[in-house]
Structure 1
Amino acid sequence: MIENIAIPDILKEAIGAEKIVFLVKAKKDQPIRNCLHVIYFGLFWILVISLIFSTFDWNFFSGDYTISAKEIPDLLYFSLFLSPGIICFLLGVFGLFKSGGYFIGTENRLICHRWGKIQTYPWKEFTNEIEVFGNKNSGNIIFKLKTGVYITRNHRKVLSNTKINIGDILYAFEIENYCRNIIGKTFSDLTE
């Protein structure tokens, strides 16, 4: 489960003398399906707003059109309502091309090196909820941490767990199996 890649020096310092169980370089920051959901939402927003504004009796949706001073506020409103869809679409496209980072699993923790920043997560901070999908050659893993933010749903506060996405990696199913075992072991040690 260790890819044949060079480990950056900053990661070697973070690992120290710990034994590396797995080492992968994620090709993507997010699973592609997450990016596609954002792109689809952006396109849906653009379509709905365009349809709503096209029902008004404006000529700038068809043919040549000159803008008068009294129609500038209408165009500004249209632009204002359209901008969230454009932003979502662009963020989704940007997410498709954003590269992932290095993920190193040791016996005690998960070490992430992304965007020039190192983050470490002890295995005791993870929940047993691990999502893995893909195929043998290209898999994705989504871990959930016990920490997060509380959001209100149906007039109740619910914890929305922090997620760690590892997109487009080799050995995803083997890594998930190892992580599930060590998190389960850590969880049972904490409850005893």
Structure 2
Amino acid sequence: MKQTILNELRSTIGDETIDFYVFAERKVPLIASFLYIFVGIFLILVSEIGKYFDSSKRDFNIFDSVNIIFALIGVTLLVWGVVSFFQNGGHFVGTPTRLIHYKKGTAKIYPWVDFTGNVDMNPSKRYITFFLHSNRKVEKGVNMYMICDVINLFSADNILEIERISRQRITENKDINKFVF
């Protein structure tokens, strides 16, 4: 966990002690990037194969417009898959009072008070997901549900230690009456 911290990030942290510092190698899971690439290639192939089944030699018909739509969606998914394959998740720093996410010159600060305490993780796949309280609520029948914000940390080292420290900080800073409705 001992790594050199960026100077821009150090100014955001200030004098607080650092509980953990980790660099997330990925923004999205690897399987999601491959899925976008696969579906994009599949849609491009479907739009190209469709041309061989059109026996009419007219200039333009409705079948061509469907092929164009399939090809555009396929290219969009393919580009998104390739871009997401190379995106990193940024730097995450845990302090006694907050979680700091730093990426490309911008820092997002999440106080531990805002976390729900629900944490989803898988050490073998190297991911952890934190859930935050939000002000968005949905009413289903007579019940009211809160929509949580999500912070994903993919392809990071020491997931078990990060989870242990995070749970400790969430319980220390928990405000029981903050999100009662």
TM-score higher than 0.5: yes
SS at match of 1:173: helix
The one-letter code sitting in structure 2 at the alignment partner of 1:86 is: V
Alignment-derived partner of residue 84 in structure 2:
95
SS at match of 2:173: helix
Change (3 A) 1:164 1:38: farther
SS at match of 1:29: coil
Query: CA separation in 1, counterparts of 2:135 and 2:66?
Result: 36
Could you tell me whether the CA contact under 8 Å between 2:37 and 2:77 is conserved in 1? yes
More strand by share: 1
The one-letter code sitting in structure 2 at the alignment partner of 1:3 is: K
The one-letter code sitting in structure 1 at the alignment partner of 2:169 is: I
Alignment-derived partner of residue 69 in structure 1:
59
Query: CA separation in 2, counterparts of 1:11 and 1:82?
Result: 42
The one-letter code sitting in structure 2 at the alignment partner of 1:190 is: I
CA deviations on 1:118-149 (whole Å, 9 max, x unpaired) are 110001111222111243xx711111221275
Alignment-derived partner of residue 63 in structure 1:
none
Could you tell me whether the CA contact under 8 Å between 1:38 and 1:92 is conserved in 2? yes
Could you tell me whether the CA contact under 8 Å between 1:148 and 1:162 is conserved in 2? no
Gaps of at least 5 residues in structure 2 are: none
Tell which deviates more after alignment, 123-132 or 30-39. Answer: 30-39
Normalised to the residue count of structure 1, the TM-score between the two structures is 0.74
The one-letter code sitting in structure 1 at the alignment partner of 2:152 is: N
Change (3 A) 1:153 1:3: farther
Could you tell me whether the CA contact under 8 Å between 2:133 and 2:147 is conserved in 1? no
Normalised to the residue count of structure 2, the TM-score between the two structures is 0.77
Query: CA separation in 1, counterparts of 2:25 and 2:123?
Result: 14
State how many pairs are aligned. Answer: 176
CA deviations on 1:103-124 (whole Å, 9 max, x unpaired) are 1000000011112211100011
Alignment-derived partner of residue 35 in structure 1:
33
Choose the corresponding residue for 1:109, options 98, 103, 112: 98
Query: CA separation in 2, counterparts of 1:54 and 1:149?
Result: 44
CA deviations on 1:9-47 (whole Å, 9 max, x unpaired) are 111110011000000111112222343444455456x28
Query: CA separation in 2, counterparts of 1:148 and 1:41?
Result: 35
Choose the corresponding residue for 1:8, options 6, 16, 34: 6
Choose the corresponding residue for 1:129, options 114, 118, 139: 118
